[in-house]
Amino acid sequence: MSLHESDFDCPHTPDAAAYVLGALEEGELHTYRAHLDGCAQCRAEVAALQPVVDELPASAAPARAPDALRERILSTVRSEAALLHAAGDDADRAPRRAHRSRRRVVIGGALAAAGALAIVLALVLSTGSGGGERVFQARISAAAPGAHATLRQRDGRAELVVSDMPQPGAGRVYEVWLSRGAGEVQPTSALFDVTAAGRGATAVPSDLHGIREVMVTSEPKGGSSRPTRQPLIRIALSS
């Protein structure tokens, strides 16, 4: 079911911005990750925000902000995210009536403010609770033009976040595979679908020790013991 097909309105969706920026405290991080396992709306929000964070400058020297400043910035980011969420999924669609143009201006301004705050937060909090996390960017097959995928690894856990992915096909699902090299491919229990906008996320059930590459293929519902199609996503892991 896509987000447009559901009336469910999750109160934790605004926390997605802090999550992708690595700004949640340790306890909040574990709680939100557990929440993501059962909330498709928040997983889709994370998938939508992740490509923006991936484009943030990575070369700025980190600096530890005072706790009071950190909390003020984080509070503002959450409130801006809540504003965007309250605007609804149609906020970024072309207006169908002239009277919606003012609303789109307000949403556009909020989005710009949230983007600016995201950059500030990423730089100021770069040595905060996000320390120790590793982020790997994917190589995307030509069969999925415009798609993005990121693997986030921390504390023995890994999560794959995708955006702008094509649908896996009728009667099919995306499956995550692990490779140790030399042609050895290991199936996982990580099966996932994407929203109508191509967003999705799944936990990768392994600590990835000894794994050289993570791959994603489209497989029949229920998954396969061996890949039946070429990988759309390849993520090389450093040793």
How confident is the model at residue 68, as a pLDDT?
65
User: Residue 139 and residue 154: Cα distance in Å, rounded?
Assistant: 21
210: left (phi over 0), alpha (psi -120 to 50) or beta: left
Average pLDDT estimate for 132-144: 91
Against a cut of 0.95, is the pTM above it? Answer: no
- 43-91: per-residue pLDDT in tens? 888 888 877 766 654 444 445 556 666 666 666 666 666 666 666 655 5
Lowest mean pLDDT among 92-96, 126-130, 161-165, 234-238: 126-130
- 203-217: per-residue pLDDT in tens? 998 778 889 999 999
SS3 163: strand
Indicate if the pLDDT at residue 112 is higher than 60. no
Helix axes 40-54, 26-38, angle to 10 degrees: 120
Average pLDDT estimate for 82-101: 54
Most confident of the following: 6-10, 183-187, 216-220, 234-238: 216-220
Most confident of the following: 66-75, 146-155, 201-210, 219-228: 219-228
Supply 134's token pair.
């590793």
Average pLDDT estimate for 212-226: 95
Closest C-alpha to 141, from 217, 198, 202: 217
Sign of CA dihedral 107, 109, 110, 112: positive
Residue 3 CA, distance from chain mean position: 15
Residues 6+ apart with CB under 8 A from 83: 110
How confident is the model at residue 61, as a pLDDT?
47
What is the band of 116 on the pLDDT scale with cuts at 50, 70, 90?
Answer: low
- By the 10 Å C-beta count (0-12 exposed, 13-18 middle, 19+ buried), 7 is classed as exposed
Indicate if the pLDDT at residue 21 is higher than 90. no
**pLDDT, averaged across the chain:** 75
Distance of CA 62 to CAs 10, 57, 115, 120, 131, Å?
33, 11, 19, 11, 11
